[in-house]
Structure 1
């Protein structure tokens, strides 16, 4: 019940969020439905007053009027589509924000990244809900305006027609309404089965290497096959209920036509001529039947899908947290970054990527993190900046849990920098008012030549026209201008040449605050005050010179080879 109320609230909010847009949609719908109002009248007058009476020009004039109305209605239909699009896109954005927020909360609480089912919800169900709402608005609006126009047209053409055609039409509507709950149940079962299939096949795809190594191909195939078979069965059950639409269409669409034909003798006895009957048939076959068919086929699928998708989003994403815990500013009199016993694994049964890590980076420190590719350096960056929560242990920044830290106080630049269309200044000042002049930041990180080539800070830029290195320069200048006291560069200079990388890192080292560099080149470690070497469970820290002398892996990364017979590990132990 609560799920249905939540779904109705979402739909009502989408429809009534902008009353002017709703009024515009209604106005254009009237124009679009004008042919349905005029059709029967024009046909009856063209026959009765024109062609049958020996006045072909009169008949042609009525048909010409109808044609002109159709042209105007085509323009109205275009405006209707634009109005519906403007109505459903904000609805989609709200749902996406809700699903993403709920997925992140659930994953963070469980200490693992979002799974395949969560991805299916955020992509399939939100798009399904958006498309379904658009279809519902189109078909319901079209049916209502057409039905009112047809009834008005029949009333104006001949009032005796209404008691003939309306009762079977009303019976079809009632039968359709009675079939909707069964459709909703079967549609919901099918969507749940689809989610389980997405999760099962996603797990198989993600674990192919482990499945092959363990010889578990048959077991994995059976598990995925059961999910696929369950979805197929749910689809067949849905198809059987959907077959009721044929009966609904037979009663609501074609029974009025049969009733009208059967009533021709009675209508003739009451002075209703053939032209009026033909006009009434035109109303039914060209306006009312297409509208009713669209309602049954469109609403029978789209409304059910909309309700089910919104219900699933409400169940899994949960309500929007309007009173979420506020971000906290970091203190200035404690170690700026502190990790104690931090463990993180991508999944409950996966080996930890970070295992029992202790790390302290003092305020104003400059740490470089090095290690083989895939060892967990980017995961460590995500933990420090609070985009991931540890499975165990604490990650504090200024004494505040990293995930509670005010976003303005930390910035993470990934390997692939993001630049959006707009002015260079808008990109650089994305984090808020700049802490120093824009030109100073550009010069500091080495992006001044790029800014001059683009036409200055106020020039419009096209991200597609920038190279990967140029996008990194823009992102570096953006971070330099931010008020953040913690900057984490996750291979954020990998597309720059060594000289440009050195200039950017030295600028951040001079900048007030704490700098952590996920090193792409060993030269980044040479410039840092401290180095963290990650090598699986063997994690060491120290200065560049100390690690060269004591850690063979680091010495190898730095291009140092110990003399024959010398064992750095044994010397360090002594």
Structure 2
């Protein structure tokens, strides 16, 4: 029988001021845009046409009045109005050209976000153990990805339009008379500053609203799956109360969001109306400084026809689409959310690298205490009462015949497999049942089949460390001997197509990714089997120089010789020691050594 949902597995996302989310989102956003310079250039060219259009409208109106109608030259006035009409009508092909280029940004963004959301959900399902499914995945794959695509498209359109339209309008005001800028710019700046002050709390409110929506969806999914248990156990009223609390929380966050939307609307009204009012009030002052009637009319045209509509659209987009986009991108691109877990006792699970009491034994990087693993009640155990301690900074090689339990051992240490009996600890912390995000902070497991995804070289290398800068990526490429492959693919921004890489090249990419991982423990499960001996030696030596602990499932004698210690699994009794010690104590290791050398061992 499944257990009744006593509470939510996902802790609500902490509300921050948006600065942290911005720091997390900016690096991948910069890489995304850097790979699409051609699309951005074409979009900029169309926007320059829009800037010229904005300039011509007000300029033509001003000259139509001053040089045409007020000068009793109706023909000239009509010609200038015709120029303004052509400028207005040219907006249609400009919009069409802009939208044609916009698809080159929005569709790759959507595809990348979908891949990222699936990767996160699969990682939780694969590494999270029991209950490790990601129930917020449906919201991310449908609602949130579409929010991101639509918000991004709207933001690109409005930001581009405002920048180029404002440039054209301000240049036009300056060309008519510099005094016009003195009147128009201050109220514009005040309104815009007031609006920008609302963006950060608006983003925090948007984040809380999304977290409440996900928590409510998670509770509904869990409750629906356990309806029979709820009825049988009589816990329906408790679950109902919890659901009512989540509904109330979602409603409260929606009200807060609505209040900030009202503040934003007020700022929008100030920015949209003050410049026109200031211009009207300043008409006598402007006339006294030689501003003509045509220039005044042109200034009003710039404000009403170009500048203020562009500002209104920008503020609406930044306040709504911009806040939603930042929050959604952070939830999809950010680290896997930590699930609630009981806090570990400081005496039993000290933090990695934390202080120890005087006289206490150093906390090992890996510790197995009487670990037994059997795949079935009546099955013979693969590992039987195994005790093992691996010191911090140590390089351990695990050897043994195929099927003896080497991969099982790495999965136990990685926390993706629970022992039948005994305890597995990494950096002093029990790994069984621990959340995926917590495990990822403790260790990195590189399997035989290297995972490489479609994207850039840099994206693949930074997969376990999204904040890695270019210097970090270059260091990993240099240390792992990846330079020829990276140059062949076109550099760190070059595209990676997994089907076009050999197995060895995929393994090199995965090893360089592991080199960048912040986890203090690396587990290599036949992760170099497709490399030639020289490349394998180079990779293992680089990973051993990396701060932290290295555990390698060896398939060549050279891997075992390079290690500080060797663990031999023979299905009867494990033997651990230096290469020379194990060679002396383990008949199996002597046989394996002879096999690796291509000749039978002569040692008794």
If the TM-score is normalised by the length of the shorter chain, which range does it land in? 0.5 to 0.7
Between the aligned partners of 1:26 and 1:217, the Cα distance in structure 2 is 59
Q: Is it true that 1:168 corresponds to 2:190 in the alignment?
A: no
The verdict on how the C-alpha distance between 1:357 and 1:187 changes in structure 2, with shifts beyond 3 A counting, is farther
Match of 1:95 in 2: 113
Match of 2:144 in 1: 125
What is the TM-score normalised by the length of structure 1?
Answer: 0.55
Cα pair 1:140 1:295 within 8 Å, conserved: yes
Worse-superposed segment, 296-305 or 265-274: 265-274
The verdict on how the C-alpha distance between 1:5 and 1:407 changes in structure 2, with shifts beyond 3 A counting, is closer
1:405-463 CA distance string (max 9 Å, x none) = 7499xxxxxxxxxxxxxxxxxxxxx999xxxxxxxxxxxxxxxxxxxxxxxxxxxxxxx
Q: Is it true that 1:183 corresponds to 2:202 in the alignment?
A: yes
Cα pair 2:57 2:87 within 8 Å, conserved: no
Between the aligned partners of 1:30 and 1:197, the Cα distance in structure 2 is 47
Q: Is it true that 1:20 corresponds to 2:29 in the alignment?
A: no
1:505-535 CA distance string (max 9 Å, x none) = xxxxxxxxxxxxxxxxxxxxxxxxxxxxxxx
Larger RCO, structure (CA 8 Å, separation 6 or more): 2
Between the aligned partners of 2:255 and 2:97, the Cα distance in structure 1 is 38
Task: Decide which of 60, 71, 77 is 2:89's aligned counterpart.
Answer: 71
1:132-167 CA distance string (max 9 Å, x none) = 222221221111111111100111122221101111
Q: Is it true that 1:159 corresponds to 2:200 in the alignment?
A: no
Between the aligned partners of 1:239 and 1:137, the Cα distance in structure 2 is 24
Q: Is it true that 1:265 corresponds to 2:284 in the alignment?
A: yes
Match of 2:515 in 1: none
Q: Is it true that 1:293 corresponds to 2:305 in the alignment?
A: no
Cα pair 2:57 2:83 within 8 Å, conserved: no
Task: Decide which of 51, 62, 68 is 2:80's aligned counterpart.
Answer: 62
Match of 1:85 in 2: 103
1:347-397 CA distance string (max 9 Å, x none) = xxxxxxxx86979xxxxxxxxxxxxxxxxxxxxxxxxxx9xx87778xxxx
| Deviation of the 1:258 alpha carbon | 0.9
The verdict on how the C-alpha distance between 1:109 and 1:277 changes in structure 2, with shifts beyond 3 A counting, is same
Any residues of structure 2 matched to 1:205-244 within 5 Å, and which? 205-212=224-231, 216-244=235-263
In the alignment, structure 1 segments of 5+ residues that lack a partner are 320-339, 343-354, 360-385, 394-402, 409-429, 433-574
Any residues of structure 2 matched to 1:1-12 within 5 Å, and which? 3-12=21-30
1:197-224 CA distance string (max 9 Å, x none) = 1112222333345445555544333222
Cα pair 1:99 1:317 within 8 Å, conserved: no
Task: Decide which of 331, 335, 345 is 1:312's aligned counterpart.
Answer: 331
The verdict on how the C-alpha distance between 1:236 and 1:267 changes in structure 2, with shifts beyond 3 A counting, is same
Between the aligned partners of 2:378 and 2:190, the Cα distance in structure 1 is 71
Match of 1:108 in 2: 126
What is the TM-score normalised by the length of structure 2?
Answer: 0.52
| Deviation of the 1:15 alpha carbon | 2.3
The verdict on how the C-alpha distance between 1:52 and 1:221 changes in structure 2, with shifts beyond 3 A counting, is farther
Match of 1:150 in 2: 169
Q: Is it true that 1:278 corresponds to 2:297 in the alignment?
A: yes
Task: Decide which of 12, 15, 40 is 2:58's aligned counterpart.
Answer: 40
Cα pair 2:68 2:74 within 8 Å, conserved: yes
1:283-304 CA distance string (max 9 Å, x none) = 1011111111111111112222
In the alignment, structure 2 segments of 5+ residues that lack a partner are 1-18, 339-372, 381-410, 421-445, 452-497, 501-604
The verdict on how the C-alpha distance between 1:205 and 1:33 changes in structure 2, with shifts beyond 3 A counting, is farther
Between the aligned partners of 2:223 and 2:79, the Cα distance in structure 1 is 68
The verdict on how the C-alpha distance between 1:221 and 1:93 changes in structure 2, with shifts beyond 3 A counting, is same
Worse-superposed segment, 202-211 or 82-91: 202-211
* Matched position secondary structure for 1:280: helix
* Matched position secondary structure for 2:290: coil
The verdict on how the C-alpha distance between 1:15 and 1:104 changes in structure 2, with shifts beyond 3 A counting, is same
Between the aligned partners of 2:127 and 2:224, the Cα distance in structure 1 is 25
Between the aligned partners of 1:299 and 1:95, the Cα distance in structure 2 is 21
| Deviation of the 1:282 alpha carbon | 1.0
Between the aligned partners of 2:337 and 2:38, the Cα distance in structure 1 is 31
| Deviation of the 1:262 alpha carbon | 0.7
| Deviation of the 1:264 alpha carbon | 0.7
Larger Rg, first or second structure (1 or 2): 1
The verdict on how the C-alpha distance between 1:182 and 1:405 changes in structure 2, with shifts beyond 3 A counting, is same
Any residues of structure 2 matched to 1:420-459 within 5 Å, and which? none
